[in-house]
């Protein structure tokens, strides 16, 4: 019964994570710890294993749909790897618990701000700090002919923020997907379908490297990982079919806001578990 429940929850988490470009790992880990009594290492190892087929399946759909920006993915992921190493190193020197708490609250606030209905106001595409930054040297225009989309980016800004997301991932022990997706949408003004697809493409690399690391550490138990891998794969399949049938999702920003709120809440739960060094099983 417990295995069937985990399978069903895994499908739902993966499907939702695929639609909003997060992957679902930040949601699944606290669920496994709190409700099913997994220790934190096994929960992370099992979830990392499950994200590998899910992100791969999602990226195959997005490859066929021509919505992945490989250049943006590379500009974010390469510095993010270096940032993750630095973040892991800084753990020994910074008040990580306080920083995690501030970060979780910040993510929740951003999520709520994206969920709340916005007042109608005249939009100025040439205003704001990010517009000015995108026009300084190393600025270029990306065109997606298949979707008839174009957007302006600054390579230096994208690389810098990619490095920053990596530092947060290494410092806080979290995946960067739920940071990178809203960053691409809100700061870089990348179209939603491109941002979510690119984030899932990045997740292919990060989940695989994370899976290998946790496998070598003995945190991947196949008896627990394989059912979750199947659940996440089916969830990713369902999420992509949902996106294709619904076409353009007008409420995507609201869905991402809900995802951010849940992600921030998940980080808070992880903090509570770590501070008490306990896990609950219901």
pLDDT digits (tens, 9 = 90+) for 88-112: 777 678 786 787 788 788 888 888 8
* pLDDT score recorded for residue 135: 58
Tens digits of per-residue pLDDT, 146-170? 888 888 888 888 898 888 888 877 6
Q: What is the pLDDT of residues 50-74, one digit of tens each?
A: 999 999 999 999 999 999 999 999 9
Question: 181, 169, 200: which is closest to 84 by C-alpha?
Answer: 169
Q: Residues of the chain with pLDDT > 90: what percent?
A: 26
Compute the residue count for the chain. 282
Q: What is the pTM of this model?
A: 0.81
pLDDT value of residue 104: 82
* Coil/strand/helix, residue 277: coil
- pLDDT at position 231 over 60: yes
Each residue's pLDDT tens digit, 21-48: 888 888 888 888 888 888 878 988 899 8
What is the chain's alpha carbon radius of gyration, rounded to the nearest angstrom?
A: 18
Q: Which residues contact 232 (CB under 8 A, 6 or more apart)?
A: 10, 11, 13, 14, 24, 50, 51, 53, 54
Nearest to 193 by CA among 15, 65, 26: 65
Average pLDDT, the chain: 82
Q: Tell me which residue has tokens 């490095």.
A: 163
Handedness of CA 45, 50, 53, 54 (dihedral sign): negative
């Amino acid at each position: 019964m417990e295995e069937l429940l985990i399978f069903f929850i895994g499908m739902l988490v993966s499907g939702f994570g695929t639609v909003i470009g997060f992957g679902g790992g930040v949601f699944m880990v606290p669920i496994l710890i709190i409700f099913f009594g997994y220790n934190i290492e096994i929960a992370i190892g099992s979830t990392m294993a499950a994200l590998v087929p899910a992100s791969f399946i999602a990226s195959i759909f997005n490859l066929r749909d021509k919505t992945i920006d490989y250049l943006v993915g590379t500009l974010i992921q390469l510095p993010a790897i270096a940032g993750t190493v630095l973040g892991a190193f800084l753990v020994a020197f910074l008040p990580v618990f306080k920083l995690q708490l501030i970060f979780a609250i910040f993510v929740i606030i951003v999520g709520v701000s994206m969920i709340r209905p916005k007042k109608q106001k005249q939009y100025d595409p040439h205003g704001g700090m990010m517009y000015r930054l995108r026009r300084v040297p190393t600025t270029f225009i990306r065109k997606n002919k298949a979707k008839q989309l174009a957007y302006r980016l600054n390579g230096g800004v994208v690389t810098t923020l990619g490095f920053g997301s990596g530092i947060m991932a290494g410092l806080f022990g979290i995946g960067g997907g739920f940071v990178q997706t809203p960053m691409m949408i809100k700061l870089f003004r990348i179209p939603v379908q491109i941002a979510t697809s690119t984030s899932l493409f990045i997740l292919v690399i990060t989940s695989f490297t994370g899976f290998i690391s946790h496998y070598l550490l003995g945190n991947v138990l196949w008896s627990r990982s394989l059912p979750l891998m199947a659940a996440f794969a089916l969830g990713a399949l369902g999420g992509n079919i949902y996106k294709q049938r619904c076409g353009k999702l007008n409420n995507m920003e609201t869905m991402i806001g809900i995802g951010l709120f849940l992600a921030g809440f998940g980080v808070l739960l992880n903090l509570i578990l770590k501070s008490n060094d306990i896990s609950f099983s219901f």
